[in-house]
Structure 1
Amino acid sequence: MTGEVKSRTPSLTVRVLLLATLWSALALVGISFAISKLYRESTERGFNDILRAQLYNVINAISINDQQAISGTPQLGDLRFSQPGSGWYWVVEPLGNFQTPALVSSSIGVSGLPVPSLLEVPFDRRYERFYALSDGSGNRVQVAETEVVLDGDGRAARFRVTGNLAVVEEQIADFSRSLHVALAVFGFGSLLLNGLAILYGLKPLDRARAALGKVRNGEAERLEGDFPREIQPLANEMNALIDSNRRLVERARMQVGNLAHSLKTPIAVLLNESNLIEKQQGDVVRAQAEAMQAQVQSYLHRARIAAQRESVLARTEVEHVLERLVRVMRRLNPDTVFELSIAGPGLTLAMEQQDVEEVVGNLLENAARYAQEHVIVKAIAIEAERPEEPGKRLWIELSVEDDGPGLDSEQAQKALKRGARLDESKPGTGLGLSIVREISGEYHGSLTLSRGESGGLKALLLLPAVVKEPA
């Protein structure tokens, strides 16, 4: 059973895609608003130009006849000016003392059009004014208006031409629908293209992650592959870090070996000399020399573990080590049945092999010493959270259980102390379980002792696992 602890931080791909989507959406909304506004202004100006042209067509067709009345039949070439209630009208009204009936288009019917005051809508520099109002049929119309002197006597008339604004709104609505469809297609295509471009651009990071995963899994010693210029410096730094880490481990191992070799002879001399002096003094020297030897071995062991604990190259396959250790124990203890159960292939510990062999070997020796008939060994991968390390991570749970007399809680606590021996009739130094606890602790793991299902001792190890990169 393998897996990886999921990060709560969004992936780089997701973040870039979200930013690109947000920016594209805002940009398209802004573009849509700007184009719609510009198109509306352009359409309204064009509509006013049409009304202005019709207005001057009416002016050119109107005159004062022999009866001193306004006369004329404007031909505007648009049937809507003859359809009642269409919103397309023309009106010629006399001004001042010029007493004559007004002329109107047949489309206006009997209802007139209200005229706003000059204070509300003044004339422009061309002596024209445009305004919107509602006619008697409920149409919203745009009005083009001007005043013209018709003869040399100063008789003048007000000319107005109207157009139905529904035409403008319908034209703008059709354009907006087409614009929105076009922008939606463009936006979707852009997001799709951006997504593909981002995924393609980030592909080298996947290769770098896969290369680093091979280093973590022991399949390679360096990051190998061709990377872009932006990623190659990172790969170079990672390779330099791995090389430095490897040199540090090698140097620590060499120093540990040198120190162990230099202390081995003096301690052996002290032990030999303790046999040549009087018993009382010899026992004191021997006890102190043995304690010194145990302490040296313990601290040298811990120093070696601390030097290589964080190395990305420290890993051990559980199945290989457990099968070999159980096979050895079966040969040494033919009367004891050893059962091995490993939940899932490929379980890998983030530990040096010799440390794994030492902790498991000590537990197996202890179980074989007190077992009556059988010993059960199990290994399973779990996700757990340690109090000293917030956040869940992957661990491997190793349990060794025997069917012996077992220990109560007080005895289990005492058994973990260095040099403590609960049964003096059995061979041993009393260091095995304390060494197991120290080694597992150096790897941020733990050892707990409890009573198993068969009544014997159950030793439960929690050790760090290697997180396998997904294929």
Structure 2
Amino acid sequence: MRPQSLTARVLLVSTIWAVVALVVIGVVISTLYRQGSERGFQDLLRAQLYNVINSIVVNDKSVLAGSPQLGDLRFSQPQTGWYWIVEPIGEFNTPPLISTSLGSGKLPIASVDEVPFDIRYERFYTTVDSFNNEVEVAETEVVLDIQGHTARFRVAGNRDVLEADIDSFNRNLYLALSIFGFGGLGMNALAILFGLRPLDQARRSLEKIRGGESERLDGEFPREIQPLASEVNALIDSNRRIIERARMQVGNLAHSLKTPLAVLINEARILEAPHGDLVKAQADAMQMQVQSYLNRARIAAQRESVLARTEVEPVLERLVRVMRRLHPEKTFLLTVSPPGLILAMEQQDVEETVGNLLDNAARYAADEVRLTAQIAPEGVQGKDPGRRSWIAIDVDDDGPGLEPEQITVAIKRGKRLDESKPGTGLGLSIVSEIAGEYQGTLGLSRGDRGGLKAMIVLPAVS
């Protein structure tokens, strides 16, 4: 799963890279320090070895003699892991010389087959003495005089000293790298947040456009983001021109059809019944049909515009006031919860959809019509699964209501269930079509008071 935030992605990648880099750096430095420390330890043992060699001679009795002074008390203190040993080899029969630190202890010797001598006739190996000290041994063989007396010299050093030094260095190294790592990560996060601030500014500008507070992406952006801001502003301008052009064409078409339809309706009044009534009814239907398709064309032209928005409460209050004047004998109750709901629709489309529902409810209600606008309940949404914000508007009356089989017929274009009431049968179909153009839905059901309940789900501004 990838994080959806660009900031989170950059921070995650940079953090992983920094951690991996610091771990690799720590391991490399620690390894190099260990290698250098081991070479230094071997150099120390080599120096002590040659000090012992220079201190040992063969006396007149062909016996090893000498008392090496290495300047290190550990060679004279017992069981320290620091020893020197001189052993005769070959036909040289004399007691060996051993440092007091080894005493009666034993120092296991690696065979020459396992650890051969190098080109300097030296060899180094690790072993464990009889006191459980892990020691590093430097060894060589030297001919001591012209008679060919030969001895093997060994100097051993306790590796605990070496390991303690390496451990101390590693602790300080990892502490320093941890402090530097956390500090670097913090500075890296600040740098990333500072570098991505223009994107946050662009996001806030887009939110202002969606909220209707601005019509363009305003502000100064870095050169990497400025082309994007310019393209967005150009897209908004182009969208606005398309909308204006569509509105102008709709207006022109409506104006060009208005006069011929008015002439037909006036002439129909002169004609004798039933021909006059038929012509007038068909002209009225034509007028409604033309208006319906013009509305659909206009909605299609501006449906994807981020500038289409209407505040719910003022529009519904105005519609309710109109209904109260048209139907003074009926009671109209309005509830908007929470206040401040905004629809992502043109105002005239909201007025036409809700107005048709209110008009139907007012004609069939006995006494009361209730109009409720709220955030759509969970599970109630429109046809667009990508949109998360929807507003449900309910129009509920206390009239006779509709049976389930009548509801399907009521939404069909031109169908009227009650011929005694005036109308063309286009109201609910127009509502359904406008809602569908905005990816919304219209649902009819029997209300709690027995009347018809119409619920229209429309897109909200996020």
Range class of TM-score, shorter chain:
over 0.9
1:4-403 equivalent positions in 2, closer than 5 A: 10-273=4-267, 286=280, 288-382=282-376, 384=379, 388-391=383-386, 393-403=388-398
Structure 1 residues 345 and 283: CA distance shift in structure 2, 3 A: closer
Q: CA RMSD, aligned part only?
A: 1.9
Q: Contact 1:249–1:308 at 8 Å: present in 2 too?
A: yes
Query: Structure 1 residues 42 and 8, CA, compared in 2 at 3 Å: closer, same or farther?
Result: closer
**CA 1:388–1:381: 2 relative to 1, 3 Å:** closer
1:387 offset after TM fit, Å? 7.8
Q: Cα 1:346–1:287, aligned 2, differ >3 Å: closer, same or farther?
A: closer
Task: Give the stretch that moved more between structures: 442-451 or 295-304.
Answer: 295-304
Aligned partner of 1:416 in structure 2 is 411
Measure the CA separation in 2 of the matches of 1:387 and 1:245: 24
Greater mean alpha carbon deviation, residues 188-197 or residues 274-283:
274-283
Preserved CA contact (<8 Å) 1:384 1:395:
no
Aligned residues: 461
| Counterparts of 1:281 and 1:295, CA distance in 2 | 21
Aligned-partner residue type, residue 216 of structure 2: R
TM-fit CA distance, 1:392: 5.5
After superposition, the Cα gap between the structure-2 partners of 1:368 and 1:298, relative to the gap in structure 1 and judged at 3 Å, is same
Contact between 1:397 and 1:463, CA under 8 Å: does it hold in 2? yes
CA positional deviation for 1:267: 3.3
The equivalent residue for 1:436 is 431
Alignment check: 8 A CA contact 2:212 2:307 kept: yes
Contact 1:380-1:398 within 8 A present in 2 as well: yes
Assess if the C-alpha contact under 8 Å between 2:394 and 2:455 holds in 1.
Answer: yes
1:6-39 superposed Cα distances (whole Å, 9 cap, x missing partner): x985201111111011001100110010001001
Question: Residue 382 of structure 2 contacts residue 441 of structure 2 at CA under 8 Å; is this kept in 1?
Answer: no
Give the CA deviation at 1:320.
1.1
Q: Is the 8 A contact 2:382 2:459 kept in 1?
A: no
Following the alignment from structure 1 to structure 2, what is the Cα–Cα distance between the partners of residues 237 and 407? 52
Shift of 1:44: 0.5
Report the alpha carbon displacement of residue 274 of structure 1 after superposing the two structures with TM: 5.0
Cα deviation, residue 390, structure 1: 3.1
- Residue 4 of structure 1: aligned partner: none
Q: Are the counterparts in 2 of residues 384 and 394 from structure 1 also a CA contact under 8 Å?
A: no
Name the CA shift for 1:289/1:340 in 2 (closer, same or farther; >3 Å).
closer
Instruction: Report if aligned partners of 1:384, 1:393 keep a CA contact under 8 Å in 2.
Output: no
**Separation in 1, partners of 2:284, 2:360:** 21
- Partners of 1:388 and 1:400 in 2: CA distance: 21
In structure 2, the residue matched to 1:426 is: 421
Q: Is the 2:382–2:439 contact (alpha carbons within 8 Å) kept by the matching residues of 1? A: no
Looking at structure 1, the residues matched to 270 and 423 of structure 2 have their Cα atoms a distance apart, in angstroms, of 25
Contact map agreement 2:208 2:214 (CA 8 A) in 1: yes
Give the residue type in structure 2 aligned to 1:329. M
Q: Which has the higher contact order (CA 8 A, sep 6+)?
A: 1
Residues 387 and 428 (structure 1), Cα distance of their counterparts in 2 relative to 1, 3 Å cut: closer
Unaligned runs of 5+ in 2: none
Whether the 8 Å CA contact 1:384–1:392 is kept in 2: the answer is no
* Cα distance between partner residues in 1 of 2:355 and 2:290: 21
Amino acid corresponding to residue 438 of structure 1 in structure 2? E
Distance 1:377 1:232 in 2: 47
| Worse-matched range after superposition: 274-283 or 20-29 | 274-283
Are positions 1:461 and 2:459 aligned together?
no
Q: TM-score, normalised by structure 2?
A: 0.95
Q: Give the superposition deviation at 1:131.
A: 0.7
Identity of aligned residues (%): 66
| Residue type at the aligned position of 1:117 | S
Give the 3 Å change call, closer, same or farther, for CA 187–89 of structure 1 in structure 2.
Answer: same
How far 1:269 moved relative to its partner?
Answer: 3.9
> C-alpha distance in 2, partners of 1:282/1:334?
33
How far 1:292 moved relative to its partner? 3.3
The CA distance in 2 between the partners of 1:326 and 1:260, in whole Å, is 27
From the superposition, tell whether residues 10 and 162 of structure 1 become closer, same or farther in structure 2 (CA, over 3 Å): same
Q: TM-score, normalised by structure 1?
A: 0.94
1:405 aligns with 2:404: no
